[in-house]
A and B are shown apart, each in its own frame.
Chain A
Amino acid sequence: MQENKIFGINGPVVTVLGRTDLSMSEMVYVGEKGLIGEVIRLDKDKAVIQVYEETSGLRPGEPVKSTGQPMSVTLGPGILDNIFDGIENPLEAIAGTAGAFIPKGVRPAPLDEEKLWDVTVTAKAGDTLSAGDVYATCPETQVITHKIMVPPDVSGKVIEAKPDGKYKVNDTVLVIETDSGEKKKLTLCHKWPIRTPRPILERKLPTKPLITGQRSIDTLFPIAKGGAAAVPGGFGAGKTVVQHQLAKWCDADIIIYIGCGERGNEMTQVLNEFKEIIDPQTGKPLTNRTTLIANTSNMPVAAREASIYTGVTIAEYYRDMGYHTAMMADSTSRWAEALREISGRLEEMPADEGFPAYLPSRLSEFYERAGYAENLNGTEGSVSIVGAVSPQGADFSEPVTQNTKRFIRCFWALDKSLAYARHYPAINWNDSYSEYISDLSTWYTENVGEDFAACRNEVCTILAEEKNLMEIVKLIGSDVLPDDQKLIIETARVIRVGFLQQNALIDIDTYVTLSKQLKMMQTILLLHHLAKELVTKQIPLSKITATGVFDKLIQMKNNIPNDRLEMFDDYTQQIKAALATVEA
């Protein structure tokens, strides 16, 4: 076999001359140091490889070794409570051996190969196992049981099963004979190519919400378990805070947080905070059910491109175990820019703003991996994807935002002017939407309250009316408006400041249960209705506002804890009392 040698080098792109035995998307080791690369183009006389590590110092003539396998990740216990780079290199282990700076060519095994896991083998000799069946379990962290499954491309009869006990990830625990008579040894882990979705039995309609505890999201623009959402916003609009809040509070079983081309300090912050935050659902630190993928903006650009695939593959793997997983990708624009950068080096014909023409198809391939699924082994699980988008110049008409919009069903548009006024989360209620509302309405009615949908609609109507009124106010001031319209503006202010604004830094406000969200809406609307009655009786609105009830309701979010909902009764009493004095 002819040896493949480097011919040309241009940034992260390396070419090999001649007709080679390399195949598309195959993983290769490049150069003496064995940098990881992937074959991305094969011409008749050359192969093009993108290299996932810094290429400086490479020389033409150095070898390129093929592996015969596509770019893959290792899936097994040890993924949770860990931090990887974009191609599943464990960063803690690298820091342990190489110090504070990441050198190239250092590549420890992705999962700790020495750690002993407490394995319960559930399959017996003689069992027939098909793809996706669980044959062993082990407690991966304090709260998550890892289910070890037959890889999706294997099935057959068990001819040997090891007893329960302590095993390392690469120890054989099961030997299986496939239909073709081949004997396969199964360990605690297996590999899966990152660009191939893991197979499922059937996609299901997402009908359960992913509860986030964020009022703007849960009430106005909810996302379903198995849904896909985009959070676009210019810099400083608060994308990252929204992503962090979702990662911390949403009710998924497993969180995959991808820092894709973002700030190093932000990843450090996530890392620290997740260790400190006690998960309300389990009473244990959040890290027990999270994994972080950090490919910061100064780490190699090709690995950034791979990072979201690595993340979604891990998410699918846990979904196959029957877990609900949520994946936050911050930010998909950086991923798209990585595509553009590599496409530019390949001298491909650019489409919009230099992005390659295949940007939409790549985006759809990615977002379509979200979904609520019935798995091969009969369990149900979901992958929800929340992708941040960083539009250039905060202009939502740019290609990444526009193309993303086509493939997601939930759009949380962050607004710079809201952020400037420190209205957080800066989700603009006029530009955002969620297509999941109708799919989820049954769930809300059954689990939160009959009137949830009605309250939500009324809140939206008031906000929409306010928007129209504000156009007039901007021109002629608010004094000239009739009282019933002033009331709309006043109530809308309470909704904006007292309901939509939510402070991530205040304990009582950072996570709000759905029942409290409903109570808050009910109380605000009660005031609105009662005040409206008075206004129609020709009582001036200024008299009602002078009682201070509107401002009182704004403080409600800071004064009522999630578990003391009876305190809303006091507010109802106070509203009624205050309005009674006005009427009298």
Chain B
Amino acid sequence: MIIEYSGLKEINGSLVVLDNIKDAAYDEMVEIRLDNGSSRTGRVVQIDGERVVVQVFEGTKGISLVNTQTRFTGHPIELSLAPEILGRVFDGLGRPADGLGEVYPKEKRDVNSSPINPVSRVYPKNYINTGISAIDALTTLIRGQKLPIFSGSGMKHNELAVQIVKQASVADGEDFAVVFAAMGVKNDVADYFKRSFEKANVMDKVVMFLNHSNDPIVERIMTPRCALTAAEYLAFELGMNILVILTDMTSYAEALREFSSSKGEIPARKGFPGYLYSDFASLYERAGIIKGKKGSVTQIPILTMPNDDINHPIPDLTGYITEGQIVLDRSLDAKGIYPPVGILSSLSRLMKDGVGAGYTREDHSKLSDQLFSCYAKVQDAKSLASVIGEDELSPADKRILEFGKRFEKEFISQTQSENRTIIQTLDLGWELLRMLPREDLDRLDDKTVEKYYYQK
């Protein structure tokens, strides 16, 4: 028998406290019905004997200490899953938001999932062709990877994400789907993604979970969990290759901070809770490939760095968990270069095993090493030029500066619909390197130079 408890003891922000509760379980889902007939969902976040703290996702507006009936459901927050979720739009808690009615569940899953056993993982090695030179050549995306985009407000991270989805899907064909989770994004941004997916004709392969910036903040904490649960179902149950876009992780972390401070927890850096790293990990680590299953979950979380500061706790902790990062650079953006990928601070950790002969081309890793190294020298030359003026530079420095300009303009920069093959990208890299004499190329052995640098 399920008991309903009437009334509350305390309300504090999004948290409500109930007393004399006999049988609450930690982390279980709670339904709160109001006298006016509406209902809200919550989750048990703390138990002290008979005193239970519940987090209410939709916020506590309109709730009083006496007008509620609370029911403990006995199970954690679950998501209804079926193949039919493809093409649907849900709210931040996984409830249909497109007016098409409930999903008839094939199964229900706990949105928190369980950690993947490291021995059951398959080390990701398959390269995904995004058609974007800066990514394909220098920060290669691998199937099953989690590769975030570190951006700042006003930069073109959404456009980049859409371009990746569009161009990566072409190669994948049938088994491909996108799970899109919006956390605290503007309605316009969510619409932009929706329209872009429709335009690219992939909408029936997209599942959307939308928590707009004017939606309840606490709901935001559940949004990525719902999205990843859907992604795991599609990938490991139905065998599809899933690309998950999570935007914006900064809003998510801020929601977590708000929740933590209303619970009275001791803050760590910048007021964020001490468990921010573990919490991020519980999301990001849900990317991967599992032995014996066909599908994969690849994650592209997007976060806006507050004040473009890569050392802010949100990008910092993210970078420690994810397998690399694509960092967008404000100065490139100002020059009108799209995508404004700051390649020196960008990195793909899985790249070393997923490129080269058999994956892309044998010279790939050597070429990218050399491009990185030359571009690092461009920065040195630039800072020297800013002190003594460009005219005073030595011929070698002038040469490298010229290389830098062309590299940014021709290699990094491309249009939003340009889909370069990996061979085009690599050949373009060699063409630019030919601007420099052989002795400047200290990362290349003679054999590679013979085959790719001298030969036209």
Cβ B372 vs Cβ A421 within 8 A: yes
Cβ B372 vs Cβ A554 within 8 A: no
Interface CB pairs A-B, < 8 A, 25: A10-B46, A56-B25, A57-B28, A59-B23, A60-B49, A94-B117, A95-B119, A100-B117, A101-B115, A101-B116, A102-B115, A102-B116, A236-B319, A263-B321, A265-B323, A297-B281, A297-B321, A301-B278, A338-B278, A345-B265, A354-B267, A420-B345, A422-B373, A477-B384, A551-B439
Cα distance, A268 to B123, chains bound together (Å): 6
Contact of A477 among B291, B376, B397 (CB under 8 A): B397
Q: Which residue of A lies closest to B319 (CB)?
A: A235
Interface residues in B306-347 by Cβ distance below 8 A to A read: 311-313, 316-317, 319-321, 323-325, 344-345, 347
CB neighbours (8 Å) of B397 from chain A are 477
Cβ A477 vs Cβ B27 within 8 A: no
Cβ proximity bits B107-129 to A, threshold 8 Å, 1 near / 0 not? 00000111111111111100000
**Which of A9, A54, A350 gathers the greatest number of chain B CB atoms within 10 Å?**
A9
Q: Knowing A265-B350, A344-B266, A551-B439 are in contact, say whether A298-B26 is a contact too (CB < 8 A).
A: no
Cα distance, A392 to B316, chains bound together (Å): 7
Q: Which residue of B lies closest to A235 (CB)?
A: B319
Cβ A301 vs Cβ B275 within 8 A: yes
Cβ A95 vs Cβ B120 within 8 A: yes
Cβ A422 vs Cβ B76 within 8 A: no
A296 within 8 A of B: yes
CB neighbours (8 Å) of B324 from chain A are 236
CB neighbours (8 Å) of A539 from chain B are none
Cβ A505 vs Cβ B365 within 8 A: yes
Cβ B267 vs Cβ A100 within 8 A: no
Contact of B117 among A10, A57, A91 (CB under 8 A): A91
B288 within 8 A of A: yes
Q: Knowing A60-B24, A341-B274 are in contact, say whether A296-B49 is a contact too (CB < 8 A).
A: no
**Which of B24, B48, B113, B350 gathers the greatest number of chain A CB atoms within 10 Å?**
B48
Given contacts A54-B114, A234-B316, A422-B443, 6 further A-B contacts (CB under 8 A): A8-B49, A9-B47, A101-B116, A261-B278, A297-B321, A298-B282
Q: Knowing A236-B347, A420-B376 are in contact, say whether A57-B365 is a contact too (CB < 8 A).
A: no
State the Cβ distance, A445 to closest chain B Cβ, in Å. Answer: 33
Contact of B114 among A103, A264, A350 (CB under 8 A): A103
B285 within 8 A of A: yes
B191 within 8 A of A: no
Cβ B27 vs Cβ A268 within 8 A: no
Cβ A7 vs Cβ B49 within 8 A: yes
Cα distance, A452 to B445, chains bound together (Å): 29
Cα distance, A505 to B376, chains bound together (Å): 21
CB neighbours (8 Å) of A301 from chain B are 275, 278
Interface residues in A1-56 by Cβ distance below 8 A to B read: 7-11, 15, 17, 54-56
CB neighbours (8 Å) of B2 from chain A are none
B352 within 8 A of A: yes
CB neighbours (8 Å) of B120 from chain A are 95, 99-101
Cβ B122 vs Cβ A268 within 8 A: yes
Cβ A337 vs Cβ B316 within 8 A: no
B240 within 8 A of A: no
CB neighbours (8 Å) of B118 from chain A are 83, 91, 259, 264, 267-268, 271, 294, 296
- Stretch binding the partner chain, chosen from B4-12, B182-190, B200-208, B385-393: B385-393
B293 within 8 A of A: yes
B277 within 8 A of A: yes
Q: Which residue of A lies closest to B344 (CB)?
A: A420
Interface residues in A53-85 by Cβ distance below 8 A to B read: 54-60, 83
Cβ B113 vs Cβ A101 within 8 A: yes
A479 within 8 A of B: yes
Cβ A265 vs Cβ B124 within 8 A: yes
B383 within 8 A of A: yes
Q: Knowing A60-B47, A344-B266 are in contact, say whether A548-B439 is a contact too (CB < 8 A).
A: yes
B394 within 8 A of A: yes
A269 within 8 A of B: yes
B442 within 8 A of A: yes
B170 within 8 A of A: no
Q: Which residue of B lies closest to A62 (CB)?
A: B25
State the Cβ distance, B231 to closest chain A Cβ, in Å. Answer: 14
Q: Which residue of B lies closest to A6 (CB)?
A: B47
CB neighbours (8 Å) of A298 from chain B are 115, 278, 281-282, 285-286
Cβ B325 vs Cβ A236 within 8 A: yes
Cβ proximity bits B288-310 to A, threshold 8 Å, 1 near / 0 not? 10111100000000000000000
Cα distance, A54 to B282, chains bound together (Å): 12
CB neighbours (8 Å) of A15 from chain B are 48
Cα distance, A580 to B358, chains bound together (Å): 46
B369 within 8 A of A: yes
Contact of A264 among B116, B320, B383, B439 (CB under 8 A): B116
**Which of B266, B313, B321, B377 gathers the greatest number of chain A CB atoms within 10 Å?**
B266
CB neighbours (8 Å) of A555 from chain B are 445-446
Cα distance, A354 to B270, chains bound together (Å): 10
B65 within 8 A of A: no
Contact of B394 among A7, A101, A345, A477 (CB under 8 A): A477
Cβ proximity bits B141-184 to A, threshold 8 Å, 1 near / 0 not? 00011000000000000000000000000000000000000000
Chain B interface (Cβ within 8 Å of chain A)? Answer: 23-28, 46-50, 76, 112-124, 144-145, 236, 265-269, 273-275, 277-278, 281-282, 284-286, 288, 290-293, 311-313, 316-317, 319-321, 323-325, 344-345, 347, 349-350, 352-353, 365, 369, 372-373, 376-377, 383-384, 387-388, 392-394, 397, 439, 442-443, 445-446
State the Cβ distance, B61 to closest chain A Cβ, in Å. Answer: 26
Interface residues in A224-244 by Cβ distance below 8 A to B read: 234-236
CB neighbours (8 Å) of A11 from chain B are 275
Q: Which residue of B lies closest to A345 (CB)?
A: B265
Cβ A353 vs Cβ B76 within 8 A: no
A584 within 8 A of B: no
**Which of A17, A235, A393 gathers the greatest number of chain B CB atoms within 10 Å?**
A235
A448 within 8 A of B: no
Cα distance, A98 to B288, chains bound together (Å): 18
Q: Knowing A100-B116, A558-B445 are in contact, say whether A9-B46 is a contact too (CB < 8 A).
A: yes
Cα distance, A353 to B112, chains bound together (Å): 29
Cα distance, A558 to B448, chains bound together (Å): 13
Q: Which residue of A lies closest to B384 (CB)?
A: A477
Cβ B278 vs Cβ A297 within 8 A: yes
Cβ A421 vs Cβ B376 within 8 A: yes
Cβ B274 vs Cβ A337 within 8 A: yes
Cα distance, A59 to B48, chains bound together (Å): 10
Q: Which residue of A lies closest to B327 (CB)?
A: A236
CB neighbours (8 Å) of A83 from chain B are 118-119
A369 within 8 A of B: no
Q: Which residue of B lies closest to A475 (CB)?
A: B387
Q: Knowing A11-B275, A344-B274 are in contact, say whether A55-B123 is a contact too (CB < 8 A).
A: no
Q: Knowing A17-B49, A59-B24, A297-B285 are in contact, say whether A235-B365 is a contact too (CB < 8 A).
A: no
A347 within 8 A of B: yes
Cβ B288 vs Cβ A265 within 8 A: yes
Cα distance, A497 to B376, chains bound together (Å): 14
CB neighbours (8 Å) of A479 from chain B are 394
Cβ B383 vs Cβ A347 within 8 A: no
State the Cβ distance, B49 to closest chain A Cβ, in Å. Answer: 5
Cβ A272 vs Cβ B266 within 8 A: no
Cα distance, A273 to B123, chains bound together (Å): 10
State the Cβ distance, B400 to closest chain A Cβ, in Å. Answer: 13
Cβ A264 vs Cβ B268 within 8 A: no
CB neighbours (8 Å) of B285 from chain A are 263-264, 296-298
Q: Lowest 10 A-B CB distances belong to which pairs?
A: A393-B311, A56-B27, A297-B281, A421-B376, A354-B268, A235-B319, A298-B285, A100-B120, A267-B118, A8-B48
Contact of B388 among A347, A353, A476 (CB under 8 A): A476
